[in-house]
Structure 1
Amino acid sequence: MDFELRSVFCCLPKMERGVVKVLGGDPKGNNFLYTNERSVIIRNVQNPAIADIYSQHAHPAIVAKYSPSGFYIASGDSSGKVRIWDTTQKDHILKYNYQVFSGRIKDIAWTEDSKRLAVVGEGRSSFGSVFLWDSGSSVGQINGHSKVINSVDFKQNRPYRMATAGDDFTSVLFEGPPFKFCLSHTDHNKFVNCVRFSPDGSLYATAGVDGKIFLYEGTSGSKVGSLADDKAHSGGVNAICWNSDGTHMLSVSADKTAKVWDIATRKAVTTFTMGQDLLDHQMGCLWQGQDLITVSLSGYINFLDQNNPSKPRLIVKGHSKSIQCLTVHKTKDMNKIFTGSHEGGINQWDAKTGVCESFDGKGHTNLVSSIGVEDSVGDLVSCSMDDTVRFTNINSKRHSAGDVVKLNSQPRCSALGSGGHVIVLLVDKIVLLKDRKYGIGIEETEYEPQAVSVHPGGVTVAIGGSDANVHLYSIEGNSLRDNQQVLPVKGPVTDLQFSPNGNFLLVGDANKVLTVFSVADGYKVENNYYGHHAKVVAVAWAPNSQYFASSGMDTIVTVWTLGNNENRLKMQDCHPLHHITALTWIDDNTLVTTSGDACVKQWDIIHGKMCPHMGEDS
């Protein structure tokens, strides 16, 4: 067997209220950059479903910028480290790694010759540094600020200038190289969030929490004026960017609007109203060729339409936090992937195109622990640590207050049976729901139930416990009956699943072992499968019931062949630096995985081809 990555459905930017999100743009206009935790995401402007991920930071990445040559990206993290890496090769070879200062890096800028870097942020002894990219040698000093520096930019032609903006309400201009203090401005009366030079270097602009945008002459630094007569926005301005010829500027604000400004008249020519919700605050922007891109506090990426300011032409959706569970729903027209995340969000993905749609209305408010589709009525059934089970129609994709079942404690997971049955596991009890109403479950168990699966026949329920046993139950009407049959395994059960044909039960445990029971032989052990280096997290059968996959805390996904322990495929670093939280199959050759990186990946599994990892034990 072998495998190939078919597609990546990427995470959104990681957002924080009141914290600007800096976007980076490819000098050729093809891609744009943002960060989420330890990952730097590269997305195609024309088709955002095309994406690449760089995941080599040891600490959360904050900002990433292309070099003007386009050959390298510099990315900075919360520890003060900058990594400079190659963009031309798939494995993104690291060129240089610098500890610039100790603290959060907030912005990065390159000179036009791709030789010098300026880095600013929350350093302890200093708030910024400017140095040669290939040696780390200093080419000046960044001073003139008494507090955190939020933004930096270079004039992209000679004579070089560098400008910074910070929390001390000050913007500073430097001349060089070597760069040294030239002058400062205190026109803003609140934090200055952003500074950017025009492409021709004739002007630079600063934007602040006071809602104002000021313009300065690019070489001398003398004040030219401001956009609008007073405030450019009624809320704080979080970010600004210029178009390619410097005649217009895009600004985004906490007033939930984005504006395009005519620099000659200093008037707004287009205003985009992005919504009325807190999550509609606009936190970052990028003018890439003809595309105007903004990022909302929700993490949604908006492609604006100047011909229709009331509605973006495209909104890129997804998850910004860890994905905890997934399921696949197959229809005649398309395969849909549903995912539930750590913050309670549920999304639907088109498996072919990667287009993501979110669910409307007030949904879960905490981690979604499991989801499944009830085909007979077209409901997505989800349980969450907000102590609820929700039934949401997959066609309307709208949460309703009337489709919620309240639980008296947090559920661990759930499984769907036929005829409207749902089994929900709590800490020390088992809940049976029938047609969204409580049935007769098990009020108290002598073990902690951890995982559940319902046999395709709809009667037998297997529940794995922390006592290293699988307990069998039967559904009888609206009641759950204990079969008094216990199947011992090698360790506390972490996940289990009946095969689609109902002939086998697959169990993964905390002692790194997979056990397959033969249902027809009275649950006799068919085989034990060894290979993981840490506890098993999730298991899933292929539709043909001949292959199954497992993931572990070792970050490895393994595809196994039933009855042949040696014929297996190890998929390492599927989601670098993260263990796989959930996996499932679309068909016998397509595996879907999710993880803490908030991304969804589809893999082509090529059966019958030998792999170097095959036959290796732990």
Structure 2
Amino acid sequence: MAQLSETYACVPLTERGRGILISGDPKSNSILYCNGRSVIIRYLDRPLEVSVYGEHAYQATVARFSPNGEWIASADVSGTVRIWGTRNEFVLKNEFRVLSGRIDDLQWSPDGMRIVASGEGKGKSFVRAFMWDSGTNVGEFDGHSRRVLSCAFKPTRPFRIVTCGEDFLVNFYEGPPFKFKLSHRDHSNFVNCVRFSPDGSKFITVSSDKKGLLYDGKTGEKIGELSAEDGHKGSIYAVSWSPDSKQVLTVSADKSAKVWDISEDGNGKVKETLTCHGSGGVDDMLVGCLWQNNYLVTVSLGGTISLYSASDHDKTPLLLSGHMKNVTSLTVLNSDQKVILSSSYDGIIVKWIQGIGYSGKLERKVNSQIKCLAAVEEEIVTSGFDNKIWRNSLHGDQCGDANPIDIGSQPKDLSLALRSSELALVSIDSGVVLLRGTEIVSTINLGFVVAACTIASDGSEAIVGGQDGKLHIYSIKGDTLTEEATLEKHRGAITVIHYSPDDSMFASGDVNREAVVWDRVSREVKLKNMLYHTARINCLAWSPNSNMVATGSLDTCVIIYEVGKPASSRITIKGAHLGGVYGLAFTDENSVVSSGEDACVRVWKLTPQ
């Protein structure tokens, strides 16, 4: 049996020059955000408890809890809204095609009966309000000429809807059925977000013109604005009200978050500027925020979620971060402390500690893309798409300076001799490159198209897998490789090969969904019929005691086999990662870590069957 014990969630998918609109449920103290086709539910007081909804066919853009917290409406780039339950395995209630293009925002009416959505559309249909159970339209929304970035439902009767967008307009509608009442053009740039105060008395709009304007919630008339004194120096991307309707939180491209006191007459003064943590780079621009219960939540362009205390702004915020893109490789750095390193193809390496979660990002001087990652004691070795290998020493969360090793061709696979960590084997299309430290010892043309490679922990032997499905075994002496044997069993290109930790066996996987465990001395098949995936095998890992081997596939599953038992007594983890599994590692005999295209990392506890 395998049970999910921890999820290290992906971060919200962000886009430069655009805000993201996150939301939450005060009752369960959870927040919602989107990444790829996934909608992520995170609990602010239980960061390792994460739920993921992955039923959208297209990239999800925004999601909101219904007022009673029982339902979630989520939208995507195709203009579709799905309404699903927060319990019973996310049962689907309804699905409606609402707009002809991307949906940027949606809001429930306070009675939970209606939903308004806004975004891109054809003609003049940038906004639509409909009944949640039937999809029936509940109004006409004229008055916008360009994409509508945000919309809001007045939380008290009489109901009102406000919309704002790229045409610099703020439009006010009365209903239901909703009809256009009035329009304001007080902003001089994109209006990024509009929100009603919880008591319904006011609403606020924020814009790329660095201004925040306040309006009467019932009549729609402008009543005041946020003071320019101590104001934002960059585009304001999002705004959120305090539960008592007396303050707002704003975030900006100027990398700051501000708390404002809102007076009865509708003007705002800065009460506090929150100090934001980061290096001050572009990734620290703030693009999303939420005021929920006693938490002030901000989201940076790099995806980092900061949780501040609303009652004590000086308290150091809790940082939640992770990957935004496909996590392509995993390695366990220190099995005593259960330190896990994961890298995503956009060049980010994240450090996790089992039982704690996010522990920081590894800061590298050059943030190049990463294809392969290997680590040994105080060193990490990475290869990318730029023909270079980087060997960085590790000091806490800092990577020491390293000069890249240009191997002249794109690296396909990378393996370290763990007991003589100086030695590394890199496969390229035509053969392999042998490295000792930062020196290229030899570049060897093997005469066939290479797909994967591995090197024994003592550096005495290497196995190279070909595009033709053959495994070539070489002895290593000095800077030369001597072919000792060729093994033929696979019926497709080899994708991955790894020696067992005790070096007595090795395992290989291929594009034709088969894995094989071999005895290293006799070179006989030790575990056969490992044919339970339905698509290519992307990764495999051995348990520290060499008793188990796990495989991860494009079919979204992880399968764990025990070497001494028939393959049919396997453990299968179905749907481990939406879009496919790309990284696997064991932290101990009973814990396997997986990563995938959904940008999440998960820890699974194994119990004997």
Give TM-score scaled by structure 2 length.
0.94
CA deviation map 1:544-588 (0-9, x unaligned): 222211122222222222251322222211123x11112121222
Distance 1:231 1:223, change over 3 A: farther
Q: Tell me, yes or no, if structure 1 residue 13 matches structure 2 residue 12.
A: yes
Q: Name the CA distance, whole Å, in 1 between partners of 2:4 and 2:480.
A: 42
2:301 counterpart residue number: 297
1:360 counterpart residue number: 363
2:116 counterpart residue number: 118
Question: Residues 294 and 310 of structure 2 are in contact (CA less than 8 Å); yes or no, is this contact kept in structure 1?
Answer: no
Question: Residues 85 and 95 of structure 1 are in contact (CA less than 8 Å); yes or no, is this contact kept in structure 2?
Answer: yes
SS class of match (1:447): coil
Q: Tell me, yes or no, if structure 1 residue 498 matches structure 2 residue 499.
A: yes
Distance 1:364 1:528, change over 3 A: farther
- Deviation at residue 526 of structure 1 after TM alignment: 2.9
Q: Name the CA distance, whole Å, in 1 between partners of 2:41 and 2:397.
A: 29
1:533 counterpart residue number: 534
SS class of match (1:199): coil
Question: Residues 500 and 507 of structure 2 are in contact (CA less than 8 Å); yes or no, is this contact kept in structure 1?
Answer: yes
Distance 1:475 1:305, change over 3 A: farther
Question: Residues 294 and 309 of structure 2 are in contact (CA less than 8 Å); yes or no, is this contact kept in structure 1?
Answer: no
Matches within 5 A, 1:538-553: 538-553=539-554
CA deviation map 1:200-254 (0-9, x unaligned): 1111111111111111111011111111148942211101110011111111111
- Deviation at residue 287 of structure 1 after TM alignment: 0.4
Amino acid at match of 1:114: G
Q: Tell me, yes or no, if structure 1 residue 324 matches structure 2 residue 323.
A: no
Matches within 5 A, 1:120-159: 120-125=118-123, 126-159=125-158
Question: Residues 261 and 269 of structure 1 are in contact (CA less than 8 Å); yes or no, is this contact kept in structure 2?
Answer: yes
Q: Name the CA distance, whole Å, in 1 between partners of 2:562 and 2:340.
A: 25
Q: Name the CA distance, whole Å, in 2 between partners of 1:308 and 1:27.
A: 19
Matches within 5 A, 1:158-173: 158-173=157-172
Q: Pairwise CA RMSD of aligned residues? A: 1.9
SS class of match (2:402): helix
Q: Name the CA distance, whole Å, in 1 between partners of 2:568 and 2:223.
A: 73
Q: Name the CA distance, whole Å, in 2 between partners of 1:145 and 1:358.
A: 43
Question: Residues 392 and 401 of structure 2 are in contact (CA less than 8 Å); yes or no, is this contact kept in structure 1?
Answer: no
Q: Name the CA distance, whole Å, in 1 between partners of 2:442 and 2:59.
A: 47
CA deviation map 1:100-126 (0-9, x unaligned): 121100001011111110011001241
Q: Name the CA distance, whole Å, in 1 between partners of 2:65 and 2:150.
A: 16
Q: Tell me, yes or no, if structure 1 residue 98 matches structure 2 residue 96.
A: yes
> Gaps (5+ residues) in structure 2?
none
Question: Residues 147 and 167 of structure 1 are in contact (CA less than 8 Å); yes or no, is this contact kept in structure 2?
Answer: yes
Question: Residues 350 and 361 of structure 2 are in contact (CA less than 8 Å); yes or no, is this contact kept in structure 1?
Answer: yes
> Gaps (5+ residues) in structure 1?
610-618
Question: Residues 547 and 561 of structure 1 are in contact (CA less than 8 Å); yes or no, is this contact kept in structure 2?
Answer: yes
2:424 counterpart residue number: 422
Question: Residues 551 and 560 of structure 2 are in contact (CA less than 8 Å); yes or no, is this contact kept in structure 1?
Answer: yes
- Deviation at residue 540 of structure 1 after TM alignment: 1.7
SS class of match (1:402): coil
Question: Residues 212 and 231 of structure 1 are in contact (CA less than 8 Å); yes or no, is this contact kept in structure 2?
Answer: no
- Deviation at residue 325 of structure 1 after TM alignment: 0.5
Q: Name the CA distance, whole Å, in 2 between partners of 1:84 and 1:306.
A: 31
1:402 counterpart residue number: 402
Amino acid at match of 2:540: V
Q: Name the CA distance, whole Å, in 2 between partners of 1:120 and 1:211.
A: 22
- Paired positions, count: 598
CA deviation map 1:368-391 (0-9, x unaligned): 22222223xx11222222332222
- Deviation at residue 511 of structure 1 after TM alignment: 2.1
Question: Residues 27 and 66 of structure 1 are in contact (CA less than 8 Å); yes or no, is this contact kept in structure 2?
Answer: no
- Deviation at residue 487 of structure 1 after TM alignment: 1.5
Distance 1:230 1:587, change over 3 A: closer
Distance 1:308 1:38, change over 3 A: same
Amino acid at match of 2:383: C
Question: Residues 388 and 405 of structure 1 are in contact (CA less than 8 Å); yes or no, is this contact kept in structure 2?
Answer: yes
Amino acid at match of 1:409: S
Q: Name the CA distance, whole Å, in 2 between partners of 1:306 and 1:117.
A: 29
Q: Name the CA distance, whole Å, in 2 between partners of 1:219 and 1:435.
A: 70
Matches within 5 A, 1:374-413: 374-375=376-377, 378-413=378-413
Question: Residues 465 and 497 of structure 2 are in contact (CA less than 8 Å); yes or no, is this contact kept in structure 1?
Answer: yes
Q: Name the CA distance, whole Å, in 1 between partners of 2:26 and 2:136.
A: 25
Question: Residues 392 and 402 of structure 2 are in contact (CA less than 8 Å); yes or no, is this contact kept in structure 1?
Answer: no
CA deviation map 1:176-221 (0-9, x unaligned): 1111111110000111111111111111111111111111111011
1:347 counterpart residue number: 350
1:486 counterpart residue number: 486
Q: Name the CA distance, whole Å, in 1 between partners of 2:269 and 2:412.
A: 55
Question: Residues 363 and 399 of structure 1 are in contact (CA less than 8 Å); yes or no, is this contact kept in structure 2?
Answer: no
SS class of match (1:195): strand
Matches within 5 A, 1:193-272: 193-229=192-228, 232-264=231-263, 266-272=268-274
- Deviation at residue 427 of structure 1 after TM alignment: 2.0
2:591 counterpart residue number: 590
- Deviation at residue 405 of structure 1 after TM alignment: 2.4
Distance 1:560 1:204, change over 3 A: same
Q: Name the CA distance, whole Å, in 1 between partners of 2:70 and 2:62.
A: 17
SS class of match (2:48): coil
SS class of match (1:371): strand
Q: Name the CA distance, whole Å, in 1 between partners of 2:155 and 2:288.
A: 22
2:286 counterpart residue number: 282
Q: Name the CA distance, whole Å, in 1 between partners of 2:510 and 2:372.
A: 18
Q: Name the CA distance, whole Å, in 2 between partners of 1:365 and 1:373.
A: 17
1:615 counterpart residue number: none
Q: Name the CA distance, whole Å, in 2 between partners of 1:109 and 1:312.
A: 32
Question: Residues 473 and 480 of structure 1 are in contact (CA less than 8 Å); yes or no, is this contact kept in structure 2?
Answer: no
Matches within 5 A, 1:466-477: 466-477=467-478
Distance 1:249 1:51, change over 3 A: same
Q: Name the CA distance, whole Å, in 1 between partners of 2:86 and 2:28.
A: 14
SS class of match (1:49): strand
- Deviation at residue 458 of structure 1 after TM alignment: 3.0
Q: Name the CA distance, whole Å, in 2 between partners of 1:331 and 1:605.
A: 17
Amino acid at match of 2:345: H
Q: Name the CA distance, whole Å, in 2 between partners of 1:111 and 1:156.
A: 7
